[in-house]
Amino acid sequence: MFICKSFTNTRNEEQLNMAQSPWASASVGRRLDSELASQLRILLRPEFEAAQSWSDLCLALKAKGFSLRVEQGRLRLVDSLSRVDICSTGYLGFPIGQLEHVFGVRLQEANWEICAVG
């Protein structure tokens, strides 16, 4: 049987793009239910508390499968796999103002775009 290697690679990429994480069911129009939000807070709290800079935070979140996005002045948590917007970091207990205070750098002045999604 002849298999086109480029077709196989494209097929694997398509499957990855269509993959869903447990958080992909969240959306801007529909907030997380309280149980899922609690689980997310428990999962990510150590990363938010241990981060010493925007880069630290982005890399720690990336390791857990999340990215950050700024939208309408709010810092949003995004599922890296599905690119679904989940919630604001403020909803998790870490508003952007608090993070800027802890890191000592305003988000707009930080070079964190490497870990952020568009």
**pLDDT tens profile 12-26:** 444 444 455 656 555
- Residue 108's pLDDT is 75
Q: Which residues contact 47 (CB under 8 A, 6 or more apart)?
A: 57, 60, 61, 64
**pLDDT tens profile 13-68:** 444 444 556 565 555 445 667 888 889 999 999 999 999 999 899 999 999 999 99
**pLDDT tens profile 75-104:** 999 998 888 888 899 999 999 999 999 999
Among 71, 59, 67, 88, smallest CA distance to 21 is for: 67
- Residue 46's pLDDT is 97
Q: For residue 112, what pLDDT band results from cuts at 50, 70 and 90? A: low
84: three-class secondary structure by DSSP: coil
Q: What ranges do the domains of the chain cover?
A: 26-115
The pTM of this model reads 0.71
Distance CA 9, CA 92 (A): 37
What single-letter DSSP state applies at residue 27? B
